[in-house]
Structure 1
Amino acid sequence: MQFLINIDVDDLDRAIDFYRDAFNLHVGRRFGTDGVEMLGGNAPVYLLVKEPGTRVAEPLAQKRRYERHWTPLHLDMVVDDVEAAVERAVAAGATLESEIRVNKWGAIAGLSDPFGHGFCLLEFRGRGYDELCL
């Protein structure tokens, strides 16, 4: 099985700049004017232009919006240096929503991208999540 990451955005050029600058991704393929594949992580990221106010799915009444919103699904990105990664993401346009917290397994910071999508930056330390296993 292969996982693909699809992220709805309202401004493709701005999204390319953000994901390039924040995470060192680069453009793989372009899909006309409405999509781009970003490579450089262990799964491709597809940035897909979806206009604000359009329906998120046919049976749902919800409309797309790009101010900060909550969803039960978000991305966690594992980095070697969480402090440097937070600094880079914020410089690229991310919003730091929760300061770096150190846990038994490592460190984590909560952020959101310029399109309202939340994500976390994780730095595993010691044995990472194995520190939680009995």
Structure 2
Amino acid sequence: MTNRWAGVTIDCLDVERVAGFWSTLLDRPRGPSEPGWIYLGLRDDPQPRLVFQPVTEPKRGKVRLHLDVAVDDIERGIAQVIALGGRYTGERHEYDEGVIVVMTDPEGHEFCMAQYY
């Protein structure tokens, strides 16, 4: 038996808005999706698909699993997220290997954006 990572599912109140944010940020096109859901990427892509699932309850508290997004320029990355409707939390960590900032998508799902040196 072979197991492999196939995707990450994100619960959303507004699937179109959140999927559009991530599609633009990561330059990942929509793939075939179930009605009401949106999938970014295809099942056989080398990267796992992102799946956006509609839910009726809003996010509560900090997420326990998050995505990491690598960028060439952290300030441009922050500006892009904000322009797409996300937010910079103000949390920033400087390490020898680079800088990491904590961002959110339009519904408040936290993710890290990293610029490696």
Paired-residue identity, %: 23
Q: What is the TM-score with the length of structure 2 in the denominator?
A: 0.81
CA shift at 1:119, angstroms? 0.5
1:51 to 45, 53, 56: 56
Counterpart position of 2:105: 113
| 1:12-61 C-alpha deviation (Å, 9 max, x unpaired) | 2112221123332221122112x111139832100111111xxxxxxxxx
Q: What is the TM-score with the length of structure 1 in the denominator?
A: 0.72
CA gap of 1:94–1:12, structure 2 versus 1, over 3 A, is same
Letter in 2 for 1:66: K
Higher relative contact order structure (alpha carbons within 8 Å, sequence separation ≥ 6): 2
Contact 2:69–2:112 (Cα < 8 Å) also in 1: yes
Q: Distance in 2 between matches of 1:121 and 1:41?
A: 21
> Alignment length, in residue pairs?
111
Q: Distance in 1 between matches of 2:82 and 2:25?
A: 8
Counterpart position of 2:21: 18
Q: Distance in 2 between matches of 1:3 and 1:82?
A: 28
Structure 2: gaps (5+ residues): none
Structure 1: gaps (5+ residues): 53-64, 126-134
CA gap of 1:42–1:83, structure 2 versus 1, over 3 A, is farther
Counterpart position of 2:47: 42
Rg larger in 1 or in 2? 1
The answer to whether residue 65 in structure 2 is matched with residue 66 in structure 1 is no
